[in-house]
Chains A and B, each alone.
Chain A
Amino acid sequence: MTSARIFFIGGLMSYRALFGWMNPWIFVPSLLVSPVCQILLFAYIGRSAGVGTDEFYVIGNALNYAAIPCMFAMTFTIGGERFGQTLGLVLATPARRIPLFLGRSMPVIANGWFVAMFGVVVGSLLLDVDIPASAWPLMALVVAVGSLASTGLGLVMGAINLVYRDGATMGNVLFLVLLIFTGTNVALDDLPDWMAAVGRCLPLTHAIEATRMLADGATWGAVRGLVGTELVIGLVYLAVGLGAIRLFERLSRTGATLDRI
């Protein structure tokens, strides 16, 4: 019961506590306007170069932008606590770490899903992309799985914040890595083999591919494998993140790293 309450109620309260500053004046331009701008940028580059379809860029960039809230917010759930000097107090509680930190991921996943879906919807409207109505429910599900996988990567980054106070800066680099390696704007088949291989180990790659296939009329059976792979990748990142939190929490106790803010 305690762990369930920490997961659901604690997760939601900590999200309110850490992201109370996220008012509409910040949320709308940074998480709704920016992804649409990114979609338009790459769609018009594609049009002028005669490469790819608008649908390709809308789906790729909308899902890619889910990484912003997922990675940065998850990183901030630890980094922000550290800066506010609440992390030591949280870590001094007997709360189990798995529900404590996984609970924090739920609102983050929902946020990432909303941002990506907003990008797909608005991008489709602006660029007149025709996606069959029947595809939307499954696309929404796949986007949720992609958001979960991105959040897993964010949890790993958050764990690094336990020992390295500037861990959040890596997020900028990782976002670019995802932009290049996940097939967001260049299909994996057109990337060098080693880049495609790296991309297949990253979150979002399989979700982007599956979403594009669904938008083109593919059935659930055709994308099931891709979605399953994305889910496994996400769970692996979450597991690595939780393992890293356990390891780095111990290292923070031996190395006194939490004293540096």
Chain B
Amino acid sequence: MPLTERPAVEARDLRRTFRTKQGVLRPTRKTVEAVKGVSFEIAPGELFGLLGPNGAGKTTTIKMLITLLIPTSGSASVLGHDVVADVREVRRRIGYVFGGDRGLYERLSGLDNLRYFSELYGVPPREQKARIGSLLELVGLTGREGERVEGYSRGMRQRLHIARGLLHDPDVFFLDEPSIGIDPVGARELRATIAGLREQGKTVLLTTHYMFEADELCDRIAVIRSGEIVAEGTPGELKGLVSAGRVLEVETYGVADGVVETSRTLGGVRSVVVEDRGQVQVLVVSCEPGAEVTQAVLGQLGDTRVGRVSHRDPTLEDAYVELVTR
């Protein structure tokens, strides 16, 4: 997406290195490059997805953008404010929500959690009540706000997190795997809330493992692998990276060791992964256009009991898997 105005978020060759030390008498030092020169821009009002496997550098990138980590090199800005030099200005304008159970004051009620962060964000006292009330309504916690957070379900906690992040009406919102561990109904409600943010004109950076979530919500997506962005575009453009081919799915009852590796070496095969679906394991093979690999793949399976064999068009998940396993 060409940007015609100042980007809401801009990252330029961001890098972050972690140094760890283990042991006292014979300490061993390790240096890990978590983010290796990441660059992207997010336009105002855009919902931008950052996808990648665990340890790819998504959270580290977000932490640099929200001022909790200083980049080892490179630069980043939010609404024109440098994330290292203009820390307070950046913090005033951003909201940050991460997934999981933690990050709330368990012994306080949901309402008091919101009241406390309202104070920290300097929400004027006269506006607090109305703002908190409307946010509780937005995230569907009206009527439960007086209960202690320790009694909340994971979905309720996550929605409270989102309300907390919106207290000061930030222009840019960072959502780091917000739907992790939430049941399907809760996740659907959460997606509706996130979609609502975009309709309000908020700029959102979302990281998630769920491809359908990214496909449904994001205007653009960047795929990050081992600290580097390996692809960027609209969901449609990313699907297009593999749409010229086909996907072969083979249901099996126990894939033998080495089958995935040997199948990857077959001519016409782009990528191979195994997905557990209940009792069966499904071999998902992404193929080159026109390549006929079914017999060759079945041959690799040997005596393994095979169920249904089918072909389908690639999805965003196929594109993602191919990008992160190349």
Contact = CB atoms under 8 A, between A and B. Distances in A.
Interface of A: 2, 5-6, 9-10, 13-14, 16-18, 20-21, 84-86, 88-95, 100, 250, 253-254, 256, 258
Given A17-B107, A92-B68, A100-B120, 11 more contacts: A16-B112, A18-B105, A84-B105, A85-B103, A86-B104, A91-B68, A93-B91, A94-B121, A95-B120, A253-B70, A256-B69
A92 B63 CA distance: 10
Contact of A17 (B96, B100, B112, B121): B112
A258 B106 CA distance: 20
Contacts of B100: 85
A185 B106 CA distance: 40
Nearest to A14: B116
Contacts of B119: 2, 5-6, 9-10, 13, 95
Interface of B: 18, 66-70, 88, 91-92, 94, 96, 100, 102-108, 112-113, 115-117, 119-122, 125, 164
Contacts of B88: 94
A25 to B, nearest CB: 15
A20 B120 contact: no
Contact of A95 (B94, B102, B103, B122): B122
A94 B92 contact: yes
Contacts of A94: 88, 91-92, 120-122
Contacts of A20: 105-108
Contacts of A256: 18, 69
Nearest to B95: A92
Given A9-B119, A93-B121, A86 B69 contact: no
B66 A92 contact: yes
A258 B105 CA distance: 17
A115 B269 CA distance: 73
24 contacts: A2-B119, A5-B119, A10-B119, A10-B120, A13-B112, A17-B107, A17-B113, A84-B102, A85-B100, A85-B102, A85-B103, A88-B68, A88-B103, A89-B117, A89-B164, A90-B120, A92-B96, A93-B91, A93-B120, A94-B91, A94-B121, A95-B119, A253-B70, A256-B69
A109 B113 CA distance: 24
**Most A Cβ at <10 Å: residue of B88, B102, B107, B119:** B119
B88 to A, nearest CB: 5
Nearest to B93: A94
Nearest to A89: B103
B121 A95 contact: yes
Contacts of B66: 92
Nearest to B150: A20
A14 B115 CA distance: 11
